[in-house]
Amino acid sequence: MIALLIFPFVLWVLPSTFFDESEVIMCPSRLFFGVECFGCGITRGVMHMHHAEVADALYFNFGSPFVYPALIALWAFWVYRGGQRLNWWKGIGKSAA
């Protein structure tokens, strides 16, 4: 749970260009067929969105502005569910009387 809370801050500490210089092709579509898929560049695009560099994010992948909010919502859901399992929310909202 602690790693889940720390992860976004670690990404903010890393420079936005951290994933930009990689020469490794991990996309099977590009590796085997030489064709970019809809997901190519999404990691770099999301990293630039995380640093509020929208123009750079759009350069790497036009889907970045849509994927990034979805990832934030998924992260918030995981934090909420993790908090439920650890009973973090048990006393929130109850009066002290």
4 in a domain, yes or no? no
Number of domains the chain is built from: 1
43 three-class SS: helix
3 in a domain, yes or no? no
95 in a domain, yes or no? no
61 in a domain, yes or no? yes
Domain assignment of residue 39, given as a range: 10-85
Cα–Cα distance for residue pair 95/97, rounded to 1 Å:
5
26 in a domain, yes or no? yes
Q: What is the pLDDT of residue 26?
A: 78
57 in a domain, yes or no? yes
97 in a domain, yes or no? no
Q: What is the pLDDT of residue 63?
A: 94
Summarize pLDDT for 24-67 with one digit per residue, the tens: 777 888 888 888 888 888 988 999 999 999 999 999 999 999 99
Count CA within 13 A, CB hemisphere, residue 20: 12
The share of the chain scoring above pLDDT 90, in percent, equals 35
Confirm whether pTM is higher than 0.85: no
Residue 93 has pLDDT above 70, yes or no: no
94 in a domain, yes or no? no
